């Protein structure tokens, strides 16, 4: 992961592959955290929406753990902070 747009694309690809996600949106919010310790160390701040059948029947914290596990190589290094919304396909469709 290098440039911010490349990082978003790589995060999206990892989530799609590792969670069989049917929809992923990743927004780089690093510019909102300039001067923050994580930003100084090169870790970005991101917001994500992830839609996956793997979230079916899981509590919100379990869904978040799945996302963190999918991005384990980047968490704490390339990704300093990740805000997320995790939905099943039916939840995603109902909310549209």
- Tell me the per-residue pLDDT of 36-52, one tens digit each, with 9 for 90 and over: 555 555 568 899 999 99
Amino acid 3: pLDDT: 55
Q: Which two tokens stand for residue 57?
A: 């029947």
Domain boundaries, the chain: 4-94
In the structure, what pLDDT confidence band is assigned to residue 2 with cuts at 50, 70 and 90?
Answer: very low
- Tell me the per-residue pLDDT of 49-92, one tens digit each, with 9 for 90 and over: 999 999 999 999 999 999 999 998 888 778 888 999 999 999 99
**Cα–Cα distance between 73 and 89 in angstroms, integer?**
26
Coil/strand/helix, residue 38: helix
**Cα–Cα distance between 7 and 78 in angstroms, integer?**
8
pLDDT at 94 over 70: yes
Q: Which fold has domain 4-94?
A: GMP Synthetase; Chain A, domain 3 (3.30.300)
Q: Which two tokens stand for residue 30?
A: 């690093």
């Amino acid at each position: 992961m290098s440039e911010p747009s490349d990082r978003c694309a790589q995060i999206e690809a990892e989530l799609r592959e590792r969670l069989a996600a049917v929809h992923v949106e990743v927004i780089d919010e690093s510019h909102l955290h300039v001067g923050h310790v994580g930003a100084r160390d090169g870790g970005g701040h991101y917001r994500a929406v992830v839609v996956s059948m793997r979230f079916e029947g899981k509590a919100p914290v379990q869904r978040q753990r799945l996302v963190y596990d999918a991005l384990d190589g980047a968490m704490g290094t390339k990704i300093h902070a990740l805000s997320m919304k995790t939905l099943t396909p039916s939840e995603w469709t109902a909310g549209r």
